[in-house]
Structure 1
Amino acid sequence: MSMLLTASGLHAGYGRAEVLHGLNIEARAGQVITVIGPNGAGKSTLLGALIGAIASTGQVLFDNRSMQLRTLEDRVMAGLALVPETRALFATMSVQDNLVLGGFRRRRLGAKRAEQAQDLERAYALFPRLKERRSQLAGTLSGGERQMLAVARALMGRPSLLMLDEPSLGLAPRVVQDIFRTIVDLRATGVTILLVEQNARAALEIADHGYVLEMGEFVLEGPAGELAKDARVIETYLGTGKKKPS
């Protein structure tokens, strides 16, 4: 599999406060890459830097093209997409209107109306519940439905790399299972996924490769199956299964 994304020596932060300290990360085409770590480690900052929403230094190569001097819009047009932790939906617009807006990249690339209609039906096939609620205002959806809509809207642009920031946050366990099952299904269609997630167990179960981010630096990385067996990961992120004495 070819390398779709390579970031090296990536520094990013907010004003004088540097959050990321020279990260190196790679994503091969067709894989699920996960970044796990505690709150405040810099996971969301990493995604913001890759999409161009946060100023950064270092080198970012996407599909063999340098992204470092590209704007956020340029990176989206190149094929990157980010579903932020906040989901950032248009609450006063319908489900279908949110999805149609998500297809702006395809329209700018010259997709015909029939092709855009196919993209919409593909989104509804992936999330049948959204089709049932296509006329409903996005702001009235449940948390799980809003997450489905955020992912579906990003997919309307047919991205090569889909970045997901904490997709399980605040969702019921059953809904979390549905979301992670969808991620596996997306990988099968050829979409490369960079998954930032606090639910380390669920993330490592579906990922091909993983990184552990702590205090703005990667402290571990490797095949997800191997990370899940690492003593430090088990102790810190997965738990030993033993109850601590009260």
Structure 2
Amino acid sequence: MAGAALLQAAWLLSACDTRREDDASATNIASAALAQPSPSPSASVPVSGPRRVVLAFGDSLYAGYGLQRGQSLPDAIQARLRGQGIDATVINAGVSGDTTADGRRRLAYTLDRLKTKPDLVMLGLGGNDVLRQVDPAETRANMTAMLDELARRGIPVILTGMMAPPNLGPDFASRFNAIWPDLAATHHAVLDPFILQGVLGNRTLMLPDGVHPNATGVARIADRVAPLVGKGLETLPKD
């Protein structure tokens, strides 16, 4: 197997999640994140227009595993949006270790806890399903349930996708990898196909564990994802 594929397999089969003691602790982590929105980086141009709230709902790749405060992907995306003059706050609701089943259980609770209905949700889960070799049918069902809940509430979605390593076999990979493009099409969601694209396999962009992006890697991901978020916000009604 090529080096990049080995590294991808190692990421998906090791520390993508930091272990939680139980579901209650995960809820506490999420609540703390919601109570303390991302700090507001200084913008290169004055922010203007309507105030927007983006909820980043995912696992360790959103939570900022191994990074200092202010270096997570939601922080980086918020900085880029405000640097473009968009008055956006990105709330980090990433919980390290969450599977799609965990996300499904806490999504409604998280949304209900927010003071303001988010204008847009970034949804990024699935890596830990591969870690546990969850049946892709279950992963699909969980992702579908979350997208249905967001649709019911009238909240547009940007999906940041996940891919399975080839060592799990072609059947698993084909069924798993098809989930995100299929759901993006059926739920009219914007899709970034693989959140670690261009980062995984590059040691200069990864933490020493080789499985999570460092601050530079996060910046690389944000450079790709932030324009999708910005475009999504621009299409919303102005009032």
**Would you tell me which structure has more strand in proportion to its own residues?**
1
**Would you tell me which structure has more helix in proportion to its own residues?**
2
| Same topology, TM > 0.5 | no
**TM-score normalised over the length of structure 2:** 0.34
